[in-house]
Amino acid sequence: MKESITDLIVKIPMFAGLNPDELAIVEKRIKLFEIEQGKTLFKEGEQGDYVCFVLDGRLDVTIKTVTGDDFVLNTLQMNTSGA
């Protein structure tokens, strides 16, 4: 059986102390989605209006070097976030 959104978000430290009413408010605003390996979530300079939480796997934060190579600035893993 898949976990509910509430079951997932209470594992994120930012939301761990919320009461059930507060969790219900957060749950209404959350959209779950998966990203295929190697796909870009967003690019440097793009304006964002959301925050992402890694629930499984990892997400590399990269930039392009002057030679065009990807350089990993950070790696986000389960229960971490990037805005």
Going from N- to C-terminal start, the domains of the chain cover 1-32, 41-83
DSSP state at residue 68:
S
CA atoms within 13 A on the CB side of 74: 6
Alpha helices in the chain (DSSP H): 5-9, 20-29
Q: In the chain, pLDDT over 90 holds for what percent of residues? A: 25
Residue scoring higher pLDDT (67 or 49): 67
> What is the reported pTM?
0.62
List the structure tokens of 8. Answer: 């997932």
pLDDT-based confidence at residue 81 (cuts at 50, 70, 90): low
Burial of 9 (0-12, 13-18, 19+ CB in 10 A): buried
pLDDT bracket for residue 25 (50, 70, 90): very high
Average pLDDT over residues 24-50: 87
Cα–Cα distance, 36 to 40 (Å, whole number): 9
| Mean per-residue pLDDT, 7-15 | 85
